[in-house]
Amino acid sequence: MRVLTGIQPSGALHLGNYFGAIKQMLDLQEKSDLFIFIANYHALTSLKDGKALKANTLDAAINFLSLGIDPNKATFWAQSDVKEVLELYWILSGYTPMGLLERAHSYKDKVSKGIAANHSLFSYPVLMAADILLYDSQIVPVGKDQIQHVEMTRDIAIKFNNDFGDILKLPEFKVDEDVATVPGLDGTKMSKSYGNTIDIFCTEKELKKATSKIVTDSTPMEEPKDFLTCNVYALAKLFLNSDELSALQDRYTKGGEGYGHFKAYLSGLIWSYFEEARAKRAYYTEHTDEVMDILQTGAHKAKRIAEEKMKMIRDVVGIYR
Ligand code: ADP
Ligand code: TRP
């Protein structure tokens, strides 16, 4: 089963990214033929600083390898290392009605937030369709905001296949309904855009500072506390097994401890959970040539598949070679 996903190289990763997306990828690499790439062409739609994009791309590679993406299990590469995707993007543009793109929520959302409407932002879903169709992807795990893009991919593929027969495989999207939204420091969804994140690779001092800012009620130290409505508990829960969880619940209901204690406990949990990832990250940061080699090996594998597919596509549309 080929499962494909693209990740935007958009800077520091937070606990929401980890528990909402990355953990599922680690799981998928164990049980499927996972194709996972850094969507650096997509990032060009919003990032116009060349140095920053290069740095973010390398950083994303380092972060994902450190968090457990295993190049022996998954095919892991940078989108721009397989240029065929841009050729397919152009060919698919001819099968993409304007009305389809005009209905895209993510485009409308971005423009309504004041982001300048340019062509790459508008045609973003066609590039995403090319990513998916180039590799005969069967399943595309996405967040809810990306479902429409996979549906558009199917629409484009159907139009193409109407003209040329069964050339493109129709993908299915997969949304993990079990994945809960991770709350941020203020209790609303943790997100870079809300400035309420706990970053995975911050320093211990930054982590302590961040956890100390988690919003709680003002129940006095001695009194019992309601863990169900507590943001500190909601985050701690992500790291605990059932025995540890009931022990924490007891501490809440017993009283005698303040939120400061629970915050310090949470900070310790997060710090030790990512200990191995931090060590790997320190290693890869010192050995970026190894990271580049890993991306190259992944790109070779992806490119072989892309070349085969493009031969077939060029042939039917009439591009002579
Ligand atoms: P941000 O909101 O910080 O910009 P992204 O939109 O880049 O995060 O999210 C990347 C991935 O991480 C998506 O698949 C998204 O569903 C997941 N994700 C982000 N924040 C959370 C959260 N608070 N809870 C669960 N999943 C999240
Ligand atoms: N658009 C996706 C996002 O913003 C990233 C992405 C690019 C992607 N190409 C893809 C995801 C192909 C899945 C399949 O998160």
Index of the ligand 2 atom closest to the CA of residue 131: 12
143 lines ligand 1 (CB under 6 A): yes
Nearest CA to ligand 2 atom 14: 5
Burial 186-222 (b: 16+ CB within 10 A, else e): eeeebebeeebbbbbbbeeeebbebbeebebeeeeee
Measure the CA–CA gap between 313 and 88, rounded to whole angstroms. 8
Q: Show the DSSP H helices in the chain as ranges.
A: 15-17, 23-31, 40-43, 50-67, 84-93, 98-102, 105-112, 119-134, 147-164, 204-212, 231-236, 242-254, 259-273, 275-286, 288-317
96 lines ligand 2 (CB under 6 A): no
Measure the CA–CA gap between 90 and 132, rounded to whole angstroms. 14
Index of the ligand 2 atom closest to the CA of residue 141: 13
192 lines ligand 1 (CB under 6 A): yes
Per residue of the chain (321 residues), what is the pLDDT tens digit?
Answer: 999 999 999 889 999 999 999 999 999 999 999 999 999 999 999 899 999 999 999 999 999 999 999 999 999 999 999 999 999 999 999 999 999 999 999 899 888 988 889 999 999 999 999 999 999 999 999 888 899 999 999 999 999 999 999 999 999 999 988 788 899 999 999 999 899 999 999 999 999 999 999 999 999 999 999 999 999 999 999 999 999 999 999 999 999 999 999 999 999 999 999 999 999 999 999 999 999 999 999 999 999 999 999 999 999 999 998
Hey, what CATH class is 202-273 in?
mainly alpha
130 lines ligand 2 (CB under 6 A): no
20 lines ligand 2 (CB under 6 A): no
21 lines ligand 1 (CB under 6 A): yes
CATH architecture observed for domain 2-180+288-317: 3-Layer(aba) Sandwich (3.40)
H/E segment holding residue 104: none
User: In sequence order, which residues have a C-beta less than 8 Å from that of residue 178 and are 6 or more positions away?
Assistant: none
Distance (Å) from CA 7 to ligand 2 centroid: 6
Distance (Å) from CA 133 to ligand 1 centroid: 24
User: In sequence order, which residues have a C-beta less than 8 Å from that of residue 140 and are 6 or more positions away?
Assistant: 3, 4, 5, 132, 150, 153, 171, 172, 173, 174
User: In sequence order, which residues have a C-beta less than 8 Å from that of residue 274 and are 6 or more positions away?
Assistant: 200, 201
By the 8 A CB rule, do 7 and 64 touch? yes
Domain boundaries, the chain: 2-180+288-317, 202-273
Measure the CA–CA gap between 159 and 222, rounded to whole angstroms. 66
Index of the ligand 1 atom closest to the CA of residue 183: 23
46 lines ligand 2 (CB under 6 A): no
Measure the CA–CA gap between 309 and 287, rounded to whole angstroms. 34
